[in-house]
Amino acid sequence: MGEAVTSPAGQLEHAAVFYAAEDEYLDEVLGFVGAGLDNGDLVFVAVPGPKLGLLREHLNGRAGQVTFADMTQMGANPAWIIPRVRAFLDANPGRPVSYVGEPIWETRSAEELCEATRHEALINLAFAGVPVSILCPYDTTRLDPGVIANAEHTHPVVIREGRPHPSHAYAEAAMFPEDCDQPLPAPPPHATALPYRDGLAQVRAFAGAYARKAGLSSRRAADLVIAVHELAANTLRHTSSDGVLNIWASRGEVVCQVQDTGHVSDPLAGRCRPAPDAAHGHGLWVVHQLCDLVELRTGAGGTTVRLHMRLSS
């Protein structure tokens, strides 16, 4: 990286690299991986499956020194990525790490793109002060210009045509790009609503019956019941008002939305495994781990959490 954009030793570096062709992708990613290995870093590469093979092939003899993961699995739910990278760091205490993470690809749904963009923003918070260098490739030929603009918002450094620059759009004050931080749209008219307070057994029975009828396997329906229950239990624990569960089926998935007057103050809630003896935090951790996608919006007006479970998973 150029002098203008290097961080102090031992600090997080988080750069987006914009590429338009395969040779550009290979140059950038292999250059980053090679520099990391030369520096004695542990190197972790999580990119969509087909690109793994490409990178392995071009790393020649050095592929054995790199840890690889298929991002379409590891990051299918973008909330799984930070804990996985943290586990890699924790398994190698004191070692500097270079990490290539490509969490955004063109076939992701609009909701997934939004959550993956929020994940990119949360990287800056999760690994502040941690000696990890992160490179996030973005395919400018396949991704919408709005997605690229958001990458400039979420990365302190952007690399174009091989040259790193500080990103002028990077904004620590407004953590998330505006279009990824809007209130969630209202549930569709065919959604079924259930207001609740302390009747959590009824909430579980309702969500479980709906999920199984909509076609979720019994195991996945049980996971969804746990997730919905934990959110409703948080309503009971942290607020004095009713909550509302909405549930509906659409486009091959079951969606549950839990809304209450509570406020989630930690933007990283659910993305770090709480300590075993922690009195709180396990609920949101479990919710994020069990579901295919979680959308959480919180503010002075309350909290809305939308859980997606695909029928095909």
Partner 1 sequence: MCLRLAGEADLSVCGSLAEALAVPVAAGGDVHLDLAALTFADVSVTRMLAQTAAGLGPDRKMVLHGASPGLQRLVQLCWPDQPGLEVTDG
Contact range with partner 1 by CB under 8 A, out of 28-36, 86-94, 103-111, 282-290: 282-290
For 46, residues 6+ apart whose C-beta sits below 8 A from its C-beta are: 68, 69, 70, 71, 74, 75, 81, 84, 99, 100, 101, 102, 103
Site mask for partner 1 (CB under 8 A), range 188-217, x = bound = ----------x-xx--x-------------
- Cβ neighbours around 131 below 10 Å, total: 17
- Which of 102, 230, 253, 292 lies at the binding interface for partner 1 (CB under 8 A)? 230
Among 223, 253, 260, 295, the residue binding partner 1 under the rule CB under 8 A is 223
Distance of closest approach, residue 217 Cβ to partner 1, in angstroms: 11
Question: Using CA of residue 86, residue 44, residue 146, residue 158, what is the dihedral sign?
Answer: positive
Q: How far is the CB of 233 from partner 1 (least distance, A)?
A: 6
Question: Residue 64: helix, strand or coil by DSSP?
Answer: helix
Work out whether 237 is an interface residue with partner 1 (CB under 8 A): yes
240 binds partner 1 (CB under 8 A): no
Do residues 23 and 31 touch, judged by C-beta distance below 8 A? no
Sort residue 60 into left (φ over 0), alpha (ψ -120 to 50) or beta: left
Residue 84 contacts partner 1 per CB under 8 A: no
Among 54, 63, 148, 222, binds partner 1 (CB under 8 A): 222
Contact segment (CB under 8 A) with partner 1 among 4-12, 66-74, 93-101, 230-238 equals: 230-238
Q: Which is nearer to partner 1, 202 or 241 (CB)?
A: 202
H or E, element range at 192 = strand 192-196
Cβ distance to partner 1 smaller for residue 46 or 225 = 225
Structure tokens at 243: 């909550």
Q: Nearest Cα to 296, choosing from 60, 73, 111? A: 111
The stretch near partner 1 (CB under 8 A) out of 87-95, 100-108, 176-184, 271-279 is 271-279
Does 273 participate in binding partner 1 (rule CB under 8 A)?
Answer: yes
Q: Which is nearer to partner 1, 118 or 288 (CB)?
A: 288
Q: In the complex with partner 1, which residue's Cβ is closer, 179 or 198?
A: 198
List 72, 77, 289, 303, residue binding partner 1 (CB under 8 A): 289
- Could you tell me if 8 and 111 are in contact, meaning their C-beta atoms sit under 8 angstroms apart? no
Measured distance CA(116)–CA(308) in Å, rounded: 15
- By beta-carbon proximity to partner 1, the closer residue of 36 and 78 is 78
The residue among 43, 24, 46 whose CA lies nearest residue 35 is: 43
Please provide residue 161's backbone torsions phi and psi, each rounded to the nearest 5 degrees. 50, 40
Which burial class, exposed, middle or buried, applies to 213 when counting CB atoms under 10 A from its CB (0-12, 13-18, 19+)?
exposed
Backbone angles phi and psi of 46, in degrees to 5: -125, 105
How many residues touch partner 1 (CB under 8 A)? 24
Q: Is 268 in the site for partner 1 (CB under 8 A)?
A: no
- Minimum separation from the CB atom of position 200 to partner 1 (A): 6
Closer to partner 1 by Cβ: residue 59 or 286 = 286
- CB neighbourhood size of 192 (10 A): 12
Binding region for partner 1 (CB under 8 A): 198, 200-201, 204, 219, 222-223, 225-226, 229-230, 233, 236-237, 273-274, 276-277, 282-283, 285-286, 289-290
